[in-house]
Chains A and B, each alone.
Chain A
Amino acid sequence: MSILYSADRLTKKFKGRTVLDLEQLQLEKHKIYALIGANGAGKTTLLNLLAFLVPPSSGTLQFFGRDAIYNRQHLLELRRRVVLVDQYPILFTGSVWKNVEFGLKVRGVAKALREKRVLEVLELVGMRDFTQADAHKLSGGESKRVALARALAIEPEVLLCDEPTANVDEENQDVILSILERINTENQTSIIMATHYLAQSRRLAHHILMLAHGRLSDRSELF
């Protein structure tokens, strides 16, 4: 078993209120995990911690067996291996192309390689015809697909998705779920997604984790 994340007594507090309190958590690589739970259960907070966007209030978080160190340089290294797609993804002002190539550009990837990669991922999400479209004029489902393409362009080791199919029509839901399944199978990308939908979780995830009031439920693996 190869451990991706290992959390020990990990807590996150906002204004004195504990929103996440995990005694122990171990996540394996190359798997799909579904985080389910009611609103306010701590799903998004956990994803933000796993994406290294916020530091924990206490406890330790290990990534591939090494403690996450919350200094600028180390965080940049960690963030370049993990990517989070938000529940309501923000697309930068400009074209779909500019959005998708962003992660490659900040990594200094050569133009020819960037172009190849952008076209590949836009093809994967079925948005190849939208390369020059204004990103702010896309529908909700299209925006989610572009945000997913933008995340996949950088070939992350871990893809974190917050409610990847929320607020999109059924057709787009199926497209998104198929993409997640495919990149896990073909690229061995580890996926951790927060969702409200148990049926989706059962279809896609290798493991289901249930969060309630910021804690992992004992019933997690029973679903």
Chain B
Amino acid sequence: MDLLLDSLKSAFLLLLSYDPELFAIVGVSLKVSAISTLLASLLGVPCGFIIAYSSFYGKRLLLTCLNTLLAMPTVVIGLLVYSFISRRGMFGSLELLYTQKAIIIGQVILIVPLVTTLTIAAISRIDNRYRNTALTLGATQLQMAWVIIQEARYGIGAAVIAAFGRVIAEVGISMMLGGNAKGFTRTMTTAMALEYDKGEFVLAVALGLTLMTIAFGINLLFHFFQGRTYVDTV
């Protein structure tokens, strides 16, 4: 217990002293996670819309596959991407391994299914009369899609926030594809794992506190969006 209390006290002091190493790690984490979330949203939201509004053979199987991908361990994605970008892999010549780009690729693969399935859920909740109203008023398919996305914006926003929360807290992909290089690919979670291995708890606890603060902020946003969705449908 003393160890935890001492670590917490030191961690607070470290945070208050604006330790440059700590803030560099937080910066890398935020940057990588933000880019991954943005790319995954650009892919996942349109995919979710198309799947929600299309009827095609195998749609239920596709939904089952997407739901299964939600449970994919980060280590499996790390291994998969590693096999493609390692020196002997198909994209080895691009020298992506142990770079922030490699982490982003892995994280995008991790959260595209999450953004897609949550977008499908958000769009499916939108009354079909919105679609028909837009069409009867002369909207093109693209204009109708924009109407639906606007009506589902809180649900889609919640999907994006959930995805950001997922990537900022993951460790497997960042460790396997980023390599935990100080100042380059060291994220909050990989730094915590390293500090734990070294028996240096102070930085690990400080990073843990920062991560939890960010997670709390994300959850506040998530509840805000969820609340707006609920209010809209009442």
Contacts and interface: CB of A to CB of B under 8 A. Distances in A.
B135 A92 contact: no
Contact of B140 (A53, A106, A136): A106
Nearest to B129: A90
Candidate in A80, A83, A106 with the most chain B CB atoms within 10 angstroms:
A106
B109 interface: no
A110 to B, nearest CB: 16
Contacts of B140: 76, 106
Grouping DSSP codes into helix (H, G, I), strand (E, B) and loop, the A interface class, with mixed when no group exceeds half, is: mixed
A106 B130 contact: no
A210 interface: no
Contact of B138 (A86, A89, A90, A106): A106
A150 interface: yes
Contact of B151 (A51, A84, A93, A102): A93
Interface size of A as a range? 20 to 34
Interface string B115-140: 00000000000010110111111111
A72 B144 CA distance: 13
Nearest to A151: B137
Interface string A83-99: 11010111011000000
Contact of A79 (B127, B130, B138, B150): B138
A53 B132 contact: yes
A107 interface: yes
Interface of B: 127, 129-130, 132-141, 143, 147, 150-151, 232
Interface of A: 48, 51, 53, 72, 76, 79-80, 82-84, 86, 88-90, 92-93, 102-103, 106-107, 136, 150-151, 154
